[in-house]
Structure 1
Amino acid sequence: MHHNTYSPGLHKLVTLQVNNLEKLTNSLAFINFSNQIIVENGLEKVGEITHNFENNSFTIAFCLKESHICIHTWPEFKQLTLDVYLCNYLQDNSAKVKVITEKFIEYFQAVVLKEFEINR
């Protein structure tokens, strides 16, 4: 019996505690930072959707050729959830997922409350 050893990629999910409410409510600053991260890591953005809520929290999804980056902020709880998944049939992007997630943690000056890694 033949087993396929192909693994599409790493999916990282984090819940972060963020004391700087400006970071949790300024979607434009997050978009600008994310676009910089996307370019620096040689990723290709194919779509982007943003929704700003009445309390200035936001939900943003970056659709990438390699998969996606999604965020949901809750300033009232000083928290956010972040989802980074990169797949590629030509190369393993697991290291990039870890680097990108760390860059976002640094951007938010956050404390990690929950962290999950799923090898897809």
Structure 2
Amino acid sequence: MDRNFIVSYWNRAAEEIIGVKREELIGKNLWGVFPDAVSLPSYTHYHKVLESGQSITFEDYYDGIWLEVNAYPSEEGITVFFRDISLRKEADKRLLDAFEEKKYHPRTNYRSIRGT
């Protein structure tokens, strides 16, 4: 993307993950195509990359999909790579839920209660 967030490249993987064809995005302002994303961390982080010249990695949630995003400053503006981490986030949640359930509902050792 350039410094005005005009998208210059959108690959097939991005099309599949986000569900937007490149024809709908190339040459257009990112925030014009995704106006609801202005309230997401991506908006803040992309601006921060442009202002600081420093790359950043973060997670974002958009339209039911968890993304791991890597944003880098470039000569034209910003280069972004992202991947779907929804399955990992779901597994993390199940693991945390199982831990919390065990923490608050430990198995009772019936032998120690009976005194045997």
Q: Give TM-score, length-normalised by structure 2.
A: 0.29
Between structures 1 and 2, the one with greater strand share: 1
Between structures 1 and 2, the one with greater helix share: 2
Q: Give TM-score, length-normalised by structure 1.
A: 0.28
Larger radius of gyration: 2
Instruction: Specify which structure has the bigger relative contact order, considering alpha-carbon pairs within 8 angstroms and separated by 6 or more residues.
Output: 1
